[in-house]
Amino acid sequence: MTAYDVAGLPERVTVYEVGPRDGLQNESAIVPVEAKAEFVRRLVAAGLPVVEATSFVHPRWVPQLADAADLMGLLGEQGRDLPVLVPNERGLDRALELGLRHVAIFGSATETFAQKNLNRSLDEQFAMFEPVVRRARDAGLDVRAYVSMCFGDPWEGAVPVEQVVATGRRLLDLGAGQLSLGDTIGVGTAGHVKALLAAFADASTPTERLAMHFHDTYGQALANAYAALECGITTFDASAGGLGGCPYAKSATGNLATEDLVWMLTGLGIDHGVDLDAVVATSTWMAGVLGRPSPSAVVRALAPAPPP
């Protein structure tokens, strides 16, 4: 593909792969742990610099990821460098027991989703996260923080940017290194992305501390990523094959597909270090494991045709 550089966009972007965690967490049929390990290994081998592996949440809340410790056991030393979600101290303890080095907490910008996803009020979630971040940092771990419902919430409607900035700032103030802004139900549009990032800039949040996490429910994820590139964002969460969703937000569908993002970045001449063909082959294989085709336009365009 010929690349056409656009002045003012970043030269390099980090693609933060969330397929094994966000991509699979919503699948109702349990994916065998060996297949999850192969999924992770293939994504790492495809050059994805970060692959979020799983979640140390309550197994009853997310049964698909109840095998988190087994998965990390299968991944061995390679797994220690892969981030995992931990909502509370119990989750952190489980990650520490396995010698993991990167964890992520996940907060909500809205009251209703905090209750539904974490069984905590908006304010109580910070009390739950505070010892997690403190203890993780004391142990030398790197901590990312997600904010969910940054654009809209299925129960509360549009979410004011000030509310998102206030939530995000509180998570950064706890000591999180990076803040990933989630459009959990995929209702954001490009102008809204710019307004939200302008509000974070007004609150003196350095752009390099922010990542964007788009779901593609309304087909806006790539346009939103482009808008964020124009604002200088250099970390984008994406899920191989466009898998994904949140079990506690019924209108959430797949994440921005890694392949769609990589195709756009390549066309813009932005370095990403990802082997697109290898990710497409991985997503095609995973579509076989799940028994349905990938929703990603780029996977559909590039995947080898099935035999006649």
**Residues forming beta bridges with residue 145, ordered by sequence position:** 105, 179
Chain centroid, CA 142 distance in Å: 16
The CA-atom distances, in angstroms, between 17 and each of 84, 98, 234, 279 are: 12, 21, 14, 11
240 scored as a contact of ligand HMG (CB under 6 A): no
216 scored as a contact of Mg ion (CB under 5 A): no
For ligand HMG, the closer CB: 164 or 276: 164
Contacts with ligand HMG by CB under 6 A: the residue count is 25
- Which member of 31, 109, 118, 270 binds ligand HMG (CB under 6 A)? 118
CB under 6 A: which stretch of 8-16, 87-95, 156-164, 227-235 binds ligand HMG?
A: 87-95
Q: Which of 82, 171, 246, 298 is catalytic?
A: 246
Residues 148-187 that bind ligand HMG (CB under 6 A): 148, 182, 184
What DSSP string describes 258-282?
A: HHHHHHHHHHTT-B----HHHHHHH
Whether 185 contacts 251, CB under 8 Å: yes
Task: Give the whole-angstrom CA distance, residue 56 versus residue 93.
Answer: 9
The CA-atom distances, in angstroms, between 268 and each of 10, 13, 230 are: 10, 11, 12
Q: How far is the CB of 140 from Mg ion (least distance, A)?
A: 27
Partner touching 285 among ligand HMG, Mg ion, none, CB below 5 to 8 Å by kind: none
Whether 154 contacts 168, CB under 8 Å: no
- 150 catalytic per annotation: no
Partner touching 284 among ligand HMG, Mg ion, none, CB below 5 to 8 Å by kind: none
Task: Give the whole-angstrom CA distance, residue 25 versus residue 9.
Answer: 33
Q: How far is the CB of 71 from ligand HMG (least distance, A)?
A: 14
* Residues classed as catalytic: 246
Residues that bind ligand HMG (CB under 6 A): 22, 25, 55-58, 61-62, 87-88, 90-91, 94, 106, 117-119, 146, 148, 182, 184, 213, 215, 246, 248
